[in-house]
């Protein structure tokens, strides 16, 4: 059997709240195969975003391991290995849509003509070819999230991690963003891990797990 593209084994994370210790993750384990789409659901405050940050290598577990293709998650590899889509878009307000997409490349190198062509191709693919020079304030919420999806795909990552990407969108716009994200990941054979509270969105993925009491269980 081939090595999973993403694995978390017996991951634990605790936070201090005053003099209390809050054990958010109590041995969460997850394996994701290349090209697979997986949804992580859970009640509000169950630790879904904490888990996603650990999977992304943005934080470290107190115990347990997170590995990308069998190797320990490494910040130096993050920009090439994975892309992220967040609930709040996190676009740079002073940059237009094209420049925001190019930021993913800029984190690794000085963008060249090929990078600019790829950014324009991705914006066209998400339906924003004519909005490439618009600032985030000139875009709707759904358009901003589509820019964020294009940015996540800019470096041709093997893995996309999406944290409640429709949380700030109305139902119809959110449905369209999820469909687009799933379609793009299928087209490029990119693995997708989607954190969502929306059961209908989760149902569109190939596999669903539920985070409860700090551990993951299959739905």
pLDDT digits (tens, 9 = 90+) for 127-145: 999 999 999 999 999 999 9
Give me the pLDDT at residue 23, please.
92
Here the CATH number for the domain that contains residue 213 is: 3.40.50.300
User: Mind listing the pLDDT tens digit for each residue in 89-127?
Assistant: 999 999 999 999 999 999 888 889 999 999 999 999 999
Asked if residue 15 is part of any domain, the answer here is yes
- The total of structural domains in the chain comes to 1
Q: With contact defined as beta carbons under 8 Å apart, do 60 and 91 qualify?
A: no
Query: Residue 198: which residues within 8 A CB-CB, separation 6 or more?
Result: 166, 174
Cα separation of 152 and 156, whole Å?
Answer: 8
Give me the pLDDT at residue 22, please.
87
**What is the average pLDDT value for the chain, to the nearest integer?**
95
Asked if residue 1 is part of any domain, the answer here is no
Asked if residue 122 is part of any domain, the answer here is yes
- Note if the pTM is more than 0.85: yes
Give me the pLDDT at residue 217, please.
96
Give me the pLDDT at residue 54, please.
96
Q: Is the pLDDT of residue 75 over 70?
A: yes
Asked if residue 14 is part of any domain, the answer here is yes
Give me the pLDDT at residue 110, please.
82
User: Mind listing the pLDDT tens digit for each residue in 28-46?
Assistant: 999 999 999 999 999 988 9
Asked if residue 86 is part of any domain, the answer here is yes
Residues of the domain holding 47: 6-218
Tell which wins on pLDDT, 165 or 108.
165
Asked if residue 91 is part of any domain, the answer here is yes
> Mean pLDDT, to the nearest integer, of 143-159?
97
User: Mind listing the pLDDT tens digit for each residue in 184-212?
Assistant: 999 999 999 999 999 999 999 999 999 99
């Amino acid at each position: 059997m081939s090595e999973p593209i993403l694995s978390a084994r017996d991951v634990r994370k605790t936070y201090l709240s005053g003099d209390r210790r809050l054990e958010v993750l109590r041995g969460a384990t997850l394996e994701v195969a290349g090209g697979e789409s997986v949804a992580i659901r859970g009640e509000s405050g169950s630790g879904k975003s904490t888990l996603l940050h650990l999977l992304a290598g943005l934080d470290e577990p107190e115990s347990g391991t997170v590995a990308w293709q069998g190797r320990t998650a490494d910040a130096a590899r993050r920009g090439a290995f994975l892309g992220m889509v967040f609930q709040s878009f996190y676009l740079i307000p002073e940059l237009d849509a094209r420049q925001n997409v190019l930021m993913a490349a800029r984190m690794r190198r000085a963008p060249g003509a090929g990078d600019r062509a790829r950014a324009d191709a991705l914006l066209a693919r998400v339906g924003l070819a004519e909005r490439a020079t618009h600032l985030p304030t000139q875009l709707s919420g759904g358009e901003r999230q589509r820019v964020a999806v294009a940015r996540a795909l800019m470096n041709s990552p093997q893995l996309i991690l999406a944290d409640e990407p429709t949380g700030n969108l109305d139902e119809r716009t959110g449905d369209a963003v999820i469909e687009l994200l799933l379609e793009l990941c299928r087209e490029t054979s990119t693995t997708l891990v989607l954190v969502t509270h929306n059961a209908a969105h989760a149902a569109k993925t190939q596999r669903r797990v539920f985070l409860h009491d700090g551990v993951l269980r299959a739905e």
